Amino acid sequence: MRFLLLLLAPLLVLQGKRVRARTVRLPEPEGQRSGASGKPSNRPLRTLVLGDSAAAGVGCSSQYEAVTGHWVEALSAHYHVHWQLVAQSSLTCAGVLKLLKETTLTIESADVVLISVGVNDVTRRTSVNQWQQDLNAMTQYLKQNLATKTIIYTTLPPMHKFPALPQPLRMFVGGQAKRLNKALEQHCTHNANTHFLVFDVPFAPEYMASDGYHPSPKAAALWANSASVFVI
């Protein structure tokens, strides 16, 4: 595999540059990134959505349509939800943790955190060893500094199926995503109250944003509903 990678390296670099040049750059949607929702008489729940462009809602026209909006709406039927979104496009797992540490939070602690990281670690070729270290740092920080009771890591998307990626780039990117995903699943297995969220999103136009990468509002709703199972 290493020999094949070296052999195809010039083509992979060229394909990567072409994909970046041709990909539509979608903005992070407008909308509130913190608030409270649900009946005040309901049991309180402090939630945090943390991560990269998918968590930030890229691919949706508003935060209400994105995963945070759908998740808060689902939880609000059962809890008085105090929520915050801390996310930014193009960040790796280490970058997301740095952003979290630099952000002034509206909640002192978090009962449950939903996380989306990994895609940028794939594209920047974060090693599996470094990825494991970054996941450990994230989980440890959430539990020790934010007293987080439940952590939900979202599975990496099946990048080997991304229609916007040409072959053989898709094959190599997909392989790296699978390796990081396996390490993520193991991390969740070995850490108490840390869950590996897998949800099936059909590769149909209505579930993909116009850039061919990010989840559409329909996919965000599936994601949020799957995450709600760990809380409700």
pLDDT 10s per residue in the chain (232 long)? 454 445 444 444 444 445 555 655 799 999 999 999 999 999 999 999 999 999 999 999 999 999 999 999 999 999 999 999 999 999 999 999 999 999 999 998 999 999 999 999 998 989 999 999 999 999 999 999 999 999 999 999 887 667 666 566 667 788 889 999 999 999 999 999 999 999 878 878 899 898 878 899 999 999 999 999 999 8
- For CA atoms 73, 69, 108, 93, the dihedral sign is positive
Distance CA 181, CA 157 (A): 9
Cβ atoms of 71 and 228 within 8 Å: the answer is yes
Query: What residues does 83 pair with on adjacent strands?
Result: 35, 47
Q: What are phi and psi of 149, to 5 degrees?
A: -90, -40
Determine the structural domain holding residue 101 and report its residue range.
2-228
Please give the tally of structural domains in the chain: 1
Whether the model clears a pTM of 0.85, i.e. scores above it, the answer is: yes
The CATH number for 218's domain is 3.40.50.1110
Side-chain-side CA neighbours of residue 183 (13 Å): 21
